[in-house]
Structure 1
């Protein structure tokens, strides 16, 4: 069950995404790339999350039906016509592999990284653990500037043992996107593969699927963002160059220490820019007080969330450009000498929220439902964070160097 605080933040984020003025696009993306995505994966935001793109539920804020009389379709191979046999080149595969289908998904593990990406993508995102559709792994490259009215970019997904990928979900309704066509694909990393083409609100979505291990499915989805793109060629190149691991740990800008023993990590989310000049990034972890056998909705209903993002000074100029929108709540207290915003709801089932500003150039946010922390609450947990070495220019490691 979602609480009113979650609803308010989801509504605020949706308004922000639908009314983004061009003058503040970088500022808004800084927040959209972080806090909105984290709150969206809290359960009731399932119909809005960008992460769902990679796991078979395509639901992006601001999605509207295209005006076919004025918006030309992207000129990709397929273009809502049946797929033809692929005769292009297939690059040699990366040698890394996952030997057995994942029985469980460890949120602290970096299971996959991109080894190659086409041009035109501006940010990357990784999430592992309990996703909105269930346990899984999603690695996404987003294209910010695209005529595609839906999400545009490339995603790679790993599914646990026995889970089969589904068609994308249409925004706002309980309906899967219709299949346009399927066709055999060249072998991917030594396994038989298939192309499946979907009609997502009048635009193409191509999914390349194969088994990364016996009884374990992987998929690379491509939603074109520029005219002339061959989604099949992109999908094959991305799939062949993915690097897999079951031992590499997700890199974080700071470490969460000494959480209560009754909590367990259920998801990790990190995202950041692809371009050197980009400064937008976010890293966060979610813990649940519910057992792993509980319904996913219950696991997400009583959580502790800890997130890190770059802090920026809210100048009068930026405030004017934002036209009254606020991304950081006004400070009302201090924690360890840092300005902070603290809120605690009176309802015992509600949550406590703490935002601490300019901590070595970062903003630290802790949201905890009652019963997930000890008597020292969010302020006590902040004092136990390992912030040594934290830097505002931190970047996630989501692509092979």
Structure 2
């Protein structure tokens, strides 16, 4: 399952890629390629660890609450235990997912925010198979610090998967539980508050079942003084908008992908402010079958991403502080400046960045063997970019 620490890393990596990437280091890319192949070879041995990481084992305090005998407070960590919640609970949104998700379709917008507190800077949504091996859905409101996760996150877990404790360091290290306490019903289902100690800071998790045997969680890491994480979590949870038919909105359509590739992951993010230009969208395809372990599926992928093309100004140069905004072009394609790089290692990858395509930068990363002989340049010419707009924004909030 995609987790908060993964979200923070993904957002940091994607913001860096969208805003201020440096020139491609082919040697570094080859090292990364070898690392991915190592993950693929060792994935069998790691499956037990991944199973724990994605919640295949029930975590204490996360069993559905018994209405007749609410769980007692259990002091485990060093932070103050939760107090009983006595505040008001807003009425729930009527949308629902009728049955626990058995598969995750990356093209579906399963959840959107209906309400958020002030002080958040950006939103991100992702669905499918994460690089850490978890299958699920996340929706994140981030407070803006790329080094530390502060904000609100929503997770939807597939059928039978119990929410794990937050990740602290590595896939096998989990935050200790401080306390658990009963929460008011969420959308008609019994719910539980769990407080974790994540590197000495509070992380509150509100858990309930969105459908029988299908868990949902709203996690809150306070980002401002005086915030009541329980009130925020309850309000966010009650106002979520669920759907199994709404499609993820993308800035352009990826066309011409070989039929042997499967879409395994999609993510979009963007600013909350109307004038912000920092947005990002990407899709990932795998050449491996769905029965392969997650490491193998991610070891041979095609990734297509979109971000805004920005004309350099003195203000932006000052913000970048000497870093590059886009890869330096070394060729042209269809009249657009482009940067093309191919690693010497034939089992690794080639990368194509095409600049100022209807106000966007289009990036295509492909492991060898995922595309035909025309490679990334041929795929770029097959993309549907007719409706692309530089002021595109993901639709992650209910209008």
Normalising TM by the smaller chain, what interval? 0.7 to 0.9
1:274 has 2:272 as partner: yes
1:200 has 2:198 as partner: yes
The one of 368, 372, 386 aligned to 1:388: 386
Question: In structure 2, do the counterparts of structure 1 residues 17 and 207 end up closer, same or farther at CA, with 3 Å as the change threshold?
Answer: closer
Preserved CA contact (<8 Å) 2:181 2:192: yes
Preserved CA contact (<8 Å) 1:79 1:204: no
Preserved CA contact (<8 Å) 2:153 2:219: yes
Aligned to 2:123: 124
Say which SS state the counterpart of residue 170 (structure 1) adopts. Answer: coil
- Segments of 5+ residues of structure 1 without an aligned counterpart are 1-12, 19-26, 34-38, 45-54, 57-77
Aligned to 2:332: 334
CA distance in structure 1 between the partners assigned to 2:300 and 2:227 by the alignment: 43
Aligned to 2:74: none
Aligned to 1:180: 178
CA distance in structure 1 between the partners assigned to 2:111 and 2:168 by the alignment: 27
Aligned counterparts, 1:139-158, within 5 A: 139-144=139-144, 150-158=148-156
Question: In structure 2, do the counterparts of structure 1 residues 244 and 385 end up closer, same or farther at CA, with 3 Å as the change threshold?
Answer: same
Preserved CA contact (<8 Å) 1:29 1:280: no
Question: In structure 2, do the counterparts of structure 1 residues 320 and 183 end up closer, same or farther at CA, with 3 Å as the change threshold?
Answer: closer
Q: Which has the higher contact order (CA 8 A, sep 6+)?
A: 2
Aligned to 1:31: 19
Question: In structure 2, do the counterparts of structure 1 residues 29 and 300 end up closer, same or farther at CA, with 3 Å as the change threshold?
Answer: closer
Aligned to 2:227: 229
Deviation at 1:250, TM superposition (A): 0.2
Say which SS state the counterpart of residue 179 (structure 2) adopts. Answer: strand
CA distance in structure 1 between the partners assigned to 2:344 and 2:362 by the alignment: 23
CA distance in structure 1 between the partners assigned to 2:294 and 2:139 by the alignment: 21
Aligned counterparts, 1:364-379, within 5 A: 364-379=362-377
Which structure 1 residue ranges, 4+ long, deviate > 4 Å from structure 2?
27-30, 315-321
* 1:159-197 alpha-carbon deviations (Å, 9 max, x no partner): 000111101111358411110000000010111100000
Of 317-326 and 367-376, the range deviating more from structure 2:
317-326
CA distance in structure 2 between the partners assigned to 1:244 and 1:272 by the alignment: 20
Say which SS state the counterpart of residue 299 (structure 1) adopts. Answer: helix
The one of 334, 359, 362 aligned to 2:360: 362
Preserved CA contact (<8 Å) 2:133 2:295: no
Preserved CA contact (<8 Å) 1:145 1:225: no
Aligned to 1:309: 307
Preserved CA contact (<8 Å) 2:20 2:320: no
CA distance in structure 2 between the partners assigned to 1:28 and 1:251 by the alignment: 22
Aligned to 1:115: 114
Preserved CA contact (<8 Å) 1:79 1:203: no
Aligned to 1:83: 82
Aligned counterparts, 1:345-356, within 5 A: 345-356=343-354
Deviation at 1:317, TM superposition (A): 6.5
Deviation at 1:84, TM superposition (A): 1.1
TM-score by length of 1: 0.80
Question: In structure 2, do the counterparts of structure 1 residues 17 and 158 end up closer, same or farther at CA, with 3 Å as the change threshold?
Answer: closer
Say which SS state the counterpart of residue 341 (structure 1) adopts. Answer: strand
Question: In structure 2, do the counterparts of structure 1 residues 30 and 350 end up closer, same or farther at CA, with 3 Å as the change threshold?
Answer: closer
CA distance in structure 1 between the partners assigned to 2:20 and 2:342 by the alignment: 24
The one of 248, 251, 254 aligned to 1:253: 251
- Segments of 5+ residues of structure 2 without an aligned counterpart are 1-7, 22-28, 40-53, 56-76
Say which SS state the counterpart of residue 237 (structure 1) adopts. Answer: helix
